[in-house]
Amino acid sequence: MKKFLRVPFILIGLFYCFTSTGQDIHFSQFYETPLLINPATTGSFNGDMRAIINYKDQWNSIAQPYRTGMFSFDMKLMKKKWNSVHLAAGLLVFNDQAGKSKFGTTQVNLSLAAILAANDKNNFSVGLLGGFAQRGVKNTDLKWGNQFDGNSYNSSTPSGEEGTLNSNSFIYGDFGAGLNWNFITKPKNMSSNDKITVNLGVGVFHINQPKQKLYVDDVQSLYAKIVVHGRSYLGIPNTTLAVIPSFLYMKQNSAQEINVGGLIRYSLKEESKYTGLIKNSAVYLGGFFRVGDSFIPMLMFELSDFAVGFNYDINISGLKSVSSGKGGFEISLRYIKGAATKHSKGGAMF
């Protein structure tokens, strides 16, 4: 019976992709995808330039996998020329392929942010993004709900969907904007571990509501999406520990997602104050809860300017009887030039 349950599960996934203009791609390590959740986070980090690679593999155990790969790069501009204001520019590229239909999306975004330092503890930024995307279905030979009689699937039964899916890819422009605030207190010294940072931001995507031609005779608009995010770094004085709570809220039409949780940072080595030959290293351990969907344990290692993070989504939704709790694996790799020398100490992420 369990193998038959997989059929409607796959159909639900197809329905989600094609009849809902639902949510965009998302990563569980959302704090490692700053340009994806808010263009105003462009340049919002300790260091000179930042590059991040993300990869997610989901539902591989029960259906055709959903695979997403992404690369982002951003850097600060003219910071030495202007005292209280500087610019930052970024590039975001991702490719996503969903399920048996091989419903694919490739997107390229450019972002620009202006960052204002209000004082030595607060800075504000506003960001804009613009880009284009290509979408399409590579496989239109699919199984549909009316070909399933409750016990078995019969391919000879007409689906009523023949010729309805658009087999041609299409291209559209895409635009967004965002606001971001950072609060930072500097540590008293290299070993005090009393640093506190707070980040809050909001981003709006698909402002132009680009047209989507997923069906031959039907054109729909991609709904605008709003993203609200927050993160804090709380050093525990006179210890090697810090607590990093975070949250993410996304809403797109009737679809929404809420992620809450955090990490604990344990410092393995501190950077040498005088020579700089010994670089800081740390390990992060924690987890997040995607409301109504998944529990997500996470692990991250940080060494000097580099960090690598791992997580696995454990499915706890109504689909767990089919998925057996198996969700998706995700990995991130981050490099920030100058992060270690600027004493970021856990503040390299936005």
Q: How many CA atoms lie within 13 A of 346 on its CB side?
A: 35
Tokens representing 230? 């927050």
**pLDDT tens digits for 174-213?**
999 999 999 999 877 766 788 999 999 999 999 999 998 7
User: Quick one: pLDDT at residue 213?
Assistant: 78
Q: How many other C-beta atoms can be found within 10 angstroms of the C-beta atom of residue 23?
A: 16
Contact 176, 207 (CB under 8 A): yes
* CA gap 57, 326 in Å, rounded: 11
What's the CA gap between 215 and 135, in Å, rounded?
A: 12
Rounded Cα gap, residues 83 and 86, in angstroms: 8
Amino acid at 349: M
The sign of the CA dihedral 344, 46, 308, 197 is positive
Contact (CB, 8 A) for 220 and 212: yes
C-alpha pair distances (Å), 189 with each of 270, 303, 321: 12, 20, 52
One digit per residue, the tens of pLDDT, for the chain of length 350 reads 334 334 444 444 444 444 444 457 889 999 999 999 999 999 999 888 999 999 999 766 566 678 899 999 999 997 776 678 899 999 999 998 876 666 788 999 999 999 999 998 999 999 999 999 998 776 656 666 666 766 776 666 666 665 566 667 889 999 999 999 999 998 777 667 889 999 999 999 999 999 987 776 778 889 999 999 999 999 999 899 999 999 999 999 989 999 999 999 999 977 655 445 457 899 999 999 999 989 999 999 999 899 999 999 998 876 656 556 567 899 999 999 976 555 444 444 45
Dihedral of the alpha carbons of 259, 50, 117, 184, in degrees to the nearest 10? 50
Residue 173's DSSP bridge partners are 132
Partners of 96 in the beta sheet? 68, 105
- From the list 178, 82, 85, the residue with the least C-alpha distance to 127 is 178
Are 315 and 323 spatial neighbours (Cβ–Cβ below 8 Å)?
A: yes
Contact, 167 vs 137, CB < 8 A? yes
Would you state the pLDDT for residue 348?
45
